Amino acid sequence: MFHLKIPTVWWVLAVLLSGNTLYAQTLTLQQALDAAVQHHPAVKSATLQVRQQQQLLPAAAALADPLLTAESPTGNFYTLGVTQAFSMPAVYRRQKALQQAQISRSESAVAVTGQDIKLQTALVYNEWQYQWMLVRQLEVQDSLLQNLAEAAGRMFREGQTDAVAAQYARLQAATLHSRLRQARQGTIAAYAQLSALTGISADRQPEPPDPLSLRKIPVITADSLLMQANPAMQTLQQEILVAERALEVAKSRGLPELALGYINQGERNSPVGNRFNVGVTIPLWRKQYNAGAAAARTGVEIARETLAAQSLELNAAYRQALGEAEKARLALEEYEQNVLPAARAVSDASRRLFEGGLTDWVSYLRNRNDALEVELGYWELIRDVQLAELDLKFLTGKL
């Protein structure tokens, strides 16, 4: 009776994972997120827009250009004069408040841009991590199946097994090797995309996922807390403030303006005190001022309704994401408690029977393939839980 000693997969995989860390530095998710935010041009563009709005702040209270005139009041000589117009002090205060609100809105936009980039980077990192774990899992299986295929070929040549068993062993080895090549290519492609987002080109490996950390799903129940934490909602709140400040500025358009000037309308020897003049504008065209204020008031209502609509969508998306996260977490828990132990028990029992010559090649390889699919399904569940957690963190502004 032919006996073949086959090492178990689990300790081989552990040795392979620990040994691989000696040759490549680990890149954590947080490191990738920080690098992406610093590297991405969109964040730099949003930051420059903040600077641009800050640079416009002194212009919010800018005076109109003075009017320089040359007149001949008597026809005998020319006199030079200058006139300066002034708005009411409240107008300058409101214009400055509007510009400060625009600065705050641009600052909120930086946070929104950063969150979007972090989500994109986290999704790529998660795919890279998943493909990397598949490669490690399949590399162990590939090595074992290649040895099994060679052993089956020798046994067939020695007349200890039939052609079907030998061909089936080669088929299983070839199929798994093809999946391994695909997983390796997936790892390379995901890391290339991650490198483009983060600017990190050195050889790195992802941090292995920790299933224990995925068992607790963060929950935020109060809608107000959800609105305060989400950067997009904060930006919409700033939009309301900008619209309110714009309304105040529009109302101030109907206020009178003052004009101070200096010009000599008399003879050359006219007293200096008589050369000054003062004027005031009379806002007669109330219709155009009222129209501007009405439009600005509608802008405030639009901003508020936009916030309400976004809040509704955000709360619906959060509840959906929370349900998906809980579903994935329960599936992962069921896998860890029941499915994985059963699959590993079947694999170990099948291995012992095969090593003892009590079962054939086909049965052993089928049992092993079923156990492998369970293991690969486990990593898919881990990926699903991680994706659900990323979605929750993104919606709550915690990414």
Q: Is the predicted pLDDT of residue 47 greater than 50, yes or no?
A: yes
DSSP 52: H
The C-alpha atoms of residue 3 and residue 355 are separated, in whole angstroms, by 5
Q: Does residue 34 sit in helix, strand or coil?
A: helix
pLDDT at 11: 41
**CB crowding 236-254: b at 16 or more within 10 Å, else e:** bbbbbbbbbbbbbbbbbee
pLDDT at 23: 54
Q: For residue range 246-298, what is the model confidence (pLDDT) as tens digits?
A: 999 998 888 888 899 988 777 777 787 778 888 888 888 888 888 989 999 99
What CATH class does 9-230+313-395 carry? Answer: mainly alpha
The C-alpha atoms of residue 222 and residue 297 are separated, in whole angstroms, by 30
Task: List Cβ<8 Å contacts ≥24 apart for 171-175.
Answer: 172/145, 172/148, 172/365, 172/369, 173/142, 173/145, 173/146, 173/148, 173/149
Over residues 115-138, the mean pLDDT reads 94
Residue 364 near residue 3, CB atoms below 8 Å = no
DSSP 280: E
pTM score over 0.85: no
DSSP per position, 212-256: GGGS-------HHHHHHH-HHHHHHHHHHHHHHHHHHHHHHTTS-
Tokens 């059963």, located at residue = 342
| Portion of the chain with pLDDT greater than 70, in percent | 91
Q: For residue range 370-389, what is the model confidence (pLDDT) as tens digits?
A: 888 888 889 899 999 899 88
Q: Does residue 358 sit in helix, strand or coil?
A: coil
Task: Let me know how long the chain is.
Answer: 399
Task: List Cβ<8 Å contacts ≥24 apart for 220-228.
Answer: 220/318, 220/396, 223/311, 223/315, 226/314, 226/315, 226/318, 226/395, 226/396, 227/311, 227/314
The C-alpha atoms of residue 71 and residue 79 are separated, in whole angstroms, by 5
Q: Is the predicted pLDDT of residue 221 greater than 90, yes or no?
A: no
DSSP 202: S
Q: Is the predicted pLDDT of residue 324 greater than 60, yes or no?
A: yes
pLDDT at 12: 43
Tokens 């040359």, located at residue = 70
pLDDT at 266: 74
Q: Could you tell me which residues are beta bridge partners of residue 361?
A: none
Tokens of 117: 């980039």
Helix and strand counts by DSSP (H, E) for the chain: 10, 6
Q: Return the closest-CA partner of residue 396 out of 198, 217, 215.
A: 217
Q: Is the predicted pLDDT of residue 99 greater than 90, yes or no?
A: yes
Over residues 161-168, the mean pLDDT reads 82
Q: For residue range 332-366, what is the model confidence (pLDDT) as tens digits?
A: 888 888 998 998 888 888 888 887 878 777 888 88
Give the burial class of 324: count Cβ atoms within 10 A of its Cβ; 0-12 exposed, 13-18 middle, 19 or more buried. Answer: middle
What are the Cα distances from residue 169, in Å, to 135, 157, 357, 368? 21, 14, 16, 11
